[in-house]
Amino acid sequence: MKITASTEIYGVMGNPIRHSLSPILQNGWLEEAGYNAVYLAFEPKVEEFASALNGLALSQIKGLNVTAPFKSSAAKLAVTKTDDVAIIGAANTLRLSPTGYDAHNTDGKGLVLDLDNRAENWREQTKIITILGVGGAAKGILSALIAAAAKEIRLVGRDEAKCREIVELAKSLAKSEAIIIHSYGWEDMAQAISGADLIINATPIGLSHDNSLSLDFGKTAAKAIIYDMTYAQKESDLLKSAKAQNRMALNGIGMLVGQGAYAFEIWFGHLPDFTKGFERLMNMDR
């Protein structure tokens, strides 16, 4: 596209951010839609996030994705926020209004959109969901999973206090006693995944060469989906072990596409093509 004085600017904020695939994803959709807009990456210093965000608002940057470590700060600084953002305390999408940025969180909907596209009939087959991790990533996907399919949600964590906190959060989001929600300690992993139809790794375990996560999926549902929210060129040990045990294995690159698609909808009023976005990232040299 040709950049002109009237070109609108969107972007992603994070630190670090140079590894982000979001500019490739979003600029492709912008070009396909024919919008006079461009999507850039911004990497403010952690201690300067508030002033950087204010500067972008004053500069009329129309919309932003927000990633680590700024999601909580984005939620706090927004002038308005959705109910989900208010409850979980994290935002990954900002839209400029006349008074500042409005905060949204599309992570959970993005994961569900990915499953809808890559895991046929998952909603009908999923009764028990086990989420590994009780931090911000897990909190961000709870509402969408409750709305989409879950009859029972099991949360697995190492910190007992955080486990109790996220169970209460999940119950407040569910607003129904028909959904069973409870937590397990990390040492109870075998029990937590037994009979599960969907297992989601919402921890950073497996992101580096120094840590690894591989599990015995023998007692999960035969058609269980093992979903790792992390994504990298190198396949995680968790997904390798899932494939070796004949379970469906999905990484988080589709969630990146899905959350980006819903952010695009917030900014422009319509969903872009998930499949084109996914293929764009899968076909690129990384």
pLDDT 10s digit of each residue in the chain, 286 long?
A: 789 999 999 999 999 999 899 999 999 999 999 999 999 999 999 999 999 999 999 999 999 999 989 999 999 999 999 998 998 899 999 999 999 999 999 999 999 999 999 998 999 999 999 999 998 899 999 999 998 867 899 999 999 999 999 999 898 888 777 899 999 999 999 999 999 999 999 987 755 555 578 899 999 999 999 999 988 767 888 999 999 999 999 999 999 999 999 999 999 999 999 999 999 999 886 5
| Contact call for residues 67 and 13 (beta carbons, < 8 A) | yes
76 noted as active-site residue: no
The Cα–Cα gap between 225 and 199 comes to 6
Residue type, 3: I
Residue 36: the pLDDT is 96
Q: Report angle CA 36, 42, 44 to the nearest 5 degrees.
A: 150
Q: Which residue has the tokens 């995680």?
A: 236
Beta bridge partners of 199: 130, 226
Q: Cβ distance 108 to 129 under 8 Å?
A: no
For residue 69, cis peptide bond before it (omega within 30 degrees of 0):
yes
pLDDT score recorded for residue 246: 96
Query: Residue 206's pLDDT is what?
Result: 59
* pTM for this model (two decimals): 0.93
Catalytic position from the list 71, 81, 109, 139? 71
**Sole residue written with tokens 């007992």:** 160
pLDDT at 178: 82
- Three-class DSSP category at 157: strand
pLDDT score for 208: 52
Strand-pair category, 93-97 with 100-104: antiparallel
- Which residues are 93's β-sheet partners? 65, 104
Distance CA 187, CA 191 (A): 9
Which residues does residue 44 pair with via DSSP β-bridges, in sequence order?
none
Q: Please tell me the predicted confidence (pLDDT) of residue 229.
A: 92
Which pLDDT does position 233 carry in this prediction?
Answer: 64
Q: With beta carbons less than 8 A apart as the criterion, state whether 261 and 6 touch.
A: no
Three-class SS state of 285: coil
pLDDT for position 230:
86
Q: Please list the residues that pair with 268 across neighbouring strands.
A: none
CA distance 138 to 227: 13
Nearest-angstrom CA–CA distance, 250 and 269: 29
Look at residue 149 in the predicted model and tell me its pLDDT.
65
